[in-house]
């Protein structure tokens, strides 16, 4: 990959998260393995995670747009370190993980959590590491300094 090329993720993260979540929920239909004795407990615990995740996505997208960076997988012209990007290099992936976990709890299903390590492995090696290589090639020392300042997740 050269600095002039764009990053090509293994698959787009929203599709990865959605696919694994749907697979986990389908598994629950065939092998009902719940987390809580009462369904409402999952809603009380899970829905706030969904709302926080949605808020993170809104804030991250607004920050990217303010910096004139397309939030989709497009070549970038700058390193964004404002807003949530000053605390985590991947606020949208963190948001997707919160939403995924919140929905899993809300539907009271263990199976999406059983699939989560596989999903995060694909995200790490198939998406995030590729993005990081691209950004390091594109921005060099500026990106390495940002990477030292801001954690990948939290």
- pLDDT tens digits, 22-56: 999 999 999 999 999 999 999 999 999 999 999 99
Answer yes or no: is 154 within a domain.
Answer: no
Range of the domain at 135: 13-149
The answer, yes or no, to whether residue 106 has pLDDT greater than 80, is yes
Answer yes or no: is 4 within a domain.
Answer: no
pLDDT band at 150 (very low <50, low <70, confident <90, very high): very high
Could you tell me how many helices (H) and strands (E) the chain has, helices first?
6, 0
Answer yes or no: is 115 within a domain.
Answer: yes
Higher pLDDT, 5 or 84: 84
Rounded to 10 deg, the angle between the 111-122 and 91-106 helix axes is 160
pLDDT band at 151 (very low <50, low <70, confident <90, very high): very high
Answer yes or no: is 5 within a domain.
Answer: no
DSSP conformation class of 88: B
Look at the chain and report how many structural domains it folds into.
1
The answer, yes or no, to whether residue 2 has pLDDT greater than 80, is no
- 126 in the Ramachandran plot: left (φ > 0), alpha (ψ -120 to 50) or beta? alpha
pTM over 0.85: yes
pLDDT band at 1 (very low <50, low <70, confident <90, very high): very low
The answer, yes or no, to whether residue 92 has pLDDT greater than 50, is yes
8, 37, 73: which is closest to 45 by C-alpha? 37
Phi, psi of 5 (to 5 degrees): -85, 160
Residue 151 three-state SS: strand
pLDDT digits (tens, 9 = 90+) for 55-85: 999 999 999 999 999 888 677 889 999 999 9
Answer yes or no: is 8 within a domain.
Answer: no
pLDDT band at 9 (very low <50, low <70, confident <90, very high): confident
Answer yes or no: is 116 within a domain.
Answer: yes
């Amino acid at each position: 990959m050269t600095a002039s090329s764009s990053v090509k993720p293994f698959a787009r993260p929203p599709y990865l998260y959605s696919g694994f979540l749907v697979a986990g929920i389908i598994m629950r239909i065939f092998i009902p393995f719940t987390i809580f004795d009462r369904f409402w407990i999952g809603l009380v615990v899970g829905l706030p995670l969904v709302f926080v995740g949605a808020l993170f996505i809104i804030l991250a997208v607004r920050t990217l747009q303010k910096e004139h960076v397309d939030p989709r997988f497009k070549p970038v012209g700058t390193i964004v370190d404002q807003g949530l990007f000053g605390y985590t290099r991947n606020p949208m992936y963190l948001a997707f993980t919160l939403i995924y976990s919140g929905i899993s709890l809300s539907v009271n299903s263990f199976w999406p959590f059983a699939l989560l390590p596989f999903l995060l492995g694909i995200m790490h090696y198939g998406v995030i590491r590729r993005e990081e290589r691209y950004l390091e090639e594109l921005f060099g020392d500026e990106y390495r300094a940002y990477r030292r300042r801001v954690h990948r997740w939290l």
